[in-house]
Every structure is written in structure tokens, then in C-alpha cells.
Copies of this chain bind each other. A is one copy, B any other.
């Protein structure tokens, strides 16, 4: 066989599975009409008619930018105002103590890429949870790393501290440095949120471990893609303050995405933010991640940065934006509650859901169940060990109906097995 790419770059053909199922849903809608289809595939906020939600408060600012502000380069690390304001947008009233810096990236993906490429060695294993967003594996693989997993849930459906700690120690012993990614609040795909007490225990574990082994490096990246659609006010950011004042060999990073928070998915805007234990490590972060920008995508979407900067700079704009965001957060929370309650009524088991765009239904043979559901005009993303339902994309009414359909499909698979 004739091959031009290097051996490690040989990939399977075919579309991303999520986009593929989304395509199938779109085609079905064209045939039977959208009222007859539950399309629970893409991770974007949709209104009850299945149209993408776009915040007027965001796009009115974007459209008011001059052409030259959209057209010109933003500078390698990002525009100064964006870099400053994205830190506020990330932490709000729960700013941690430490040396905080930011570098613009294309969405949260770019922030994950920079963390893996710079804070782990080639060949290292990155620690993520067993239930996880699959592209973590792709990003690690693309950068000649791989992932290994801890069990996200214990027998009570809460964070499995033992599994996390033992995996961390196992890896630290071998690699001497470990990057672990924790996707909380509103974990994708389960909707789990670590409690403040769970975070306190993690902080204690880091501190103790790091002090006992000053030669080790512990790097945590918090993936907070969905944070603005969680909780009632800012309480889902309290954990950020807990992750303060770390020993000198612990670094906390945040993958901040403007995709969901600002309905800016297609504008590719986000940041990697560090909370460093000292200035030297903060400066190192800036040099390293700026260089990574230059050596990967050069710079980011200028107009998207300016829009975020302007909204966060102006009290009135910010208020209007936050109100619009809150309105949809409440809609999302009502939809999710409808699903969770309906599931409870019929005893459909789901992973511990707290908040966010996705709910996970653990099941055997997810591919078969998903195919069975497609026959009922219900499109859902299959995971390795379950199904991912997306209340972000489905009306409250359909969220109520969905659990019964899922149960029916699961039962029919079992009967036929």
C-alpha cells in the first residue's frame, strides 16, 4: 500500500460520529417534519423550534465593530483588553489567589491542546475520567500523547476520590509529572458537578502529595466549557477560590470557552488561563503558550475577542448579556429537570446529573439502542457505555417524552438479545 503520511498519522476514514448522527437527524427532519423528530445530538443551545440560540446582546456588539477591527490581526497572544477581561469572565466574583495570566485560543479545544503539548512529555498519559468528551483522546493522540482514565463515579454516584487519587499517584510515580483534566461543573457527557467538599479534598491531596515530592509536577486543567449554564448565580465558581495558594510544583489551568457562554461556537474564541504559584511560572506560561499560538494557528479571531472585551467592559452591555444568558440557562434547567423527573418516574437509570448541556443514560449495546431510537425518529449520541441526551437541543415537552422512548428501545434490545 502506498502511504504518504507518517505511520502515527494514519487515521480511519469517516466523519466524527456526532456530526454524522446530526446529519441523519437533519435528513429525517426534512422527511417527516421537525415536530416529529427528537434531535438530541449536537452540543449547542437550541430554542424550542430547534433553531440555534444566538444572543442578540452578543451579535449586536459584534455587528457594531468596524470592518477593520474584524479584518486585522489580534496579535499573537490575543488583544490586551480581551486577555484582561477574559480573566474576569472566567472567575467573576471567585478569583483565586495566585499569578493569573491568559492566552487566547480557538475555543476550549485550543486550551486543551496547549496544556497537553506543553505540560506533558511526548508519550505521557493524560488523566481524564472514564466518562469523557471523546476529543480529549484525539487531542492527546494528535500530540503523540494518550489518555488513561479514573472512575468518575463512586457507588453513591459522587466523585470517585479513591480512583482519582490512586491513578494520579500511579502516574506520578512513573511520569513524575501528570496533567489531569477535570471537566466540572456540568461535566460532558454526564452533567456531574464536583461539590465544594470534593474540591477541598482534591486540594488537600495535591498539597500533601506535592510537598512530599517536590520533584513531581502536578498540573490540573479545569475544563469549564459549560459553567455559565450551571447553578443559580455564581456559586458554581466557588471552587476556583479553593484552588488557590498552591505549592510551587502545582499549576492550575483553566480551559475557557466563549463558544457556549457567548453563543460563539463558529467564531472560535476562548483562552487558556493559568493560576500559577509564583511569577516565574506565570511568565513561563505566557512565553510558552504565546509561542504555541505562533507555531500552531498564529492568532485568534479578532472580532470575537473584541466582542467579549466590549461586553465585559461595559456595565450596561454586561447586564443585558447576563440577563439573556440567564433566560436560556433557566430554560435549559427546566428541560433537564423534565427529563430527570420523567426518568425517575419510570426508573430509567441515569448518571448523577446536576447541571449542563448533557445527560448520560448508561446502557449495554448503545449502538443498537441508538439505532432502535432512530426508528422512532429520536436521534441521540451513542457513547462507549451509554447514550448522551442533550437537553440543550430539545424542547421541555420532548424532554418529558424522551425517557420512556429510551426505556422502550432498551427493553426491545434486551428482549431481542
- A interface with B by C-beta (< 8 Å): 1-6, 9-16, 19, 42, 44, 51-52, 54, 59, 62-63, 67-76, 106-107, 109-110, 113, 117-122, 135, 138-144, 177, 217, 219, 248-249, 251, 263-268, 276, 278, 280-281, 283-288, 290-292, 294-303
Closest CB in chain B relative to A300 CB, distance in Å: 7
A265/B296 contact (C-beta < 8 A), A51-B68, A118-B6, A284-B10 known: no
Whether B265 pairs with A295 at a CB distance below 8 angstroms is no
Residues of B within 8 A of A297 (CB): 106-107, 109-110, 113, 268, 296-297
> How many copies of the chain does the oligomer comprise?
2
Whether A286 pairs with B13 at a CB distance below 8 angstroms is yes
A76 to B139, CA, bound (A): 13
Partner of A291, one of B11, B69, B72, B122: B11
A277 and chain B: residue at smallest CB distance: B2
A13 and chain B: residue at smallest CB distance: B287
Whether A280 pairs with B1 at a CB distance below 8 angstroms is yes
A143 and chain B: residue at smallest CB distance: B295
Closest 10 CB pairs of A and B: A142-B295, A266-B302, A109-B298, A54-B67, A11-B291, A9-B118, A106-B297, A138-B295, A11-B287, A59-B67
A52 and chain B: residue at smallest CB distance: B68
A288/B9 contact (C-beta < 8 A), A71-B52, A249-B2 known: yes
Partner of A138, one of B59, B287, B294, B299: B294
